[in-house]
Amino acid sequence: MREVNDERKAVRIDAGVLAAIHAEAAAAYPNEGCGALLGRSTGGRRVTASLPVPNTEAGTPRMRFEVAPRDYLAVEDEADRRGLALLGFWHSHPDDTARASKTDRAYAWEGLLTVIVSVPGGAPGEVIAWEILGPDEPFTPVPIEEGSTGAPVTVLSPFPAS
Ligand SMILES: [Zn+2]
């Protein structure tokens, strides 16, 4: 029993990290972008950094993403170096909602967040965090608290264009 799997536990994502994820999701459009989420796992999950991870899914990069084993290991090394925990991965859904797909569920790992960013027409929009509470469980949404405001929200509005 790991504390991280307590039900209905929110995740706090620092505003700068959310902005970076939005920027990377827009840059990757019309392909899926993806990255790793690093931060603190004890005393409430808090994402303090994101690391870009190359999308190595060569066949259909618009439809799904894949993290190569070497990139996964590099991410864990970098987390260790920074004294942070790997909390999960984010990826974008170009021209689709932030709902998790069957493929997303098949690739989900217990204990790691799956954060999805909707990118309709190239402009990043809603962000939803998902997790599974057991190997055979469906995805459940995880409330996201934006670091700077602390207001708990499940779905975040698009950032204003700059
Ligand atoms: Zn997906």
Domain count, the chain: 1
Tokens representing 113 are 């967040």
Q: Does residue 157 lie within any of the structural domains?
A: no
**pLDDT per residue over 61-72, tens digit each?**
554 556 777 888
pLDDT of residue 63: 47
Range with lowest mean pLDDT among 3-7, 97-101, 106-110, 118-122: 3-7
Q: Which residues, listed in sequence order, are joined to residue 118 by a DSSP beta bridge?
A: 93
Question: 2-6, 7-11, 65-69, 72-76 — which one is most confidently predicted on average?
Answer: 72-76
Average pLDDT, the chain: 81
Residues in the chain: 162
Average pLDDT in the 108-136 region? 92
3-state SS class at 36 = strand
Task: Name which residue leads in pLDDT, 20 or 149.
Answer: 20
Tokens representing 155 are 């779905």
Q: Does residue 156 lie within any of the structural domains?
A: no
55: CA distance to ligand 1 center in Å? 12
Q: Does residue 160 lie within any of the structural domains?
A: no
Chain centroid offset of residue 147 CA: 15
Specify the CATH number for the domain of residue 113. 3.40.140.10
- The parent domain of residue 135 ranges over 3-149
Beta strands (DSSP E) in 61-138 are 85-94, 113-119, 127-132
120: CA distance to ligand 1 center in Å? 14
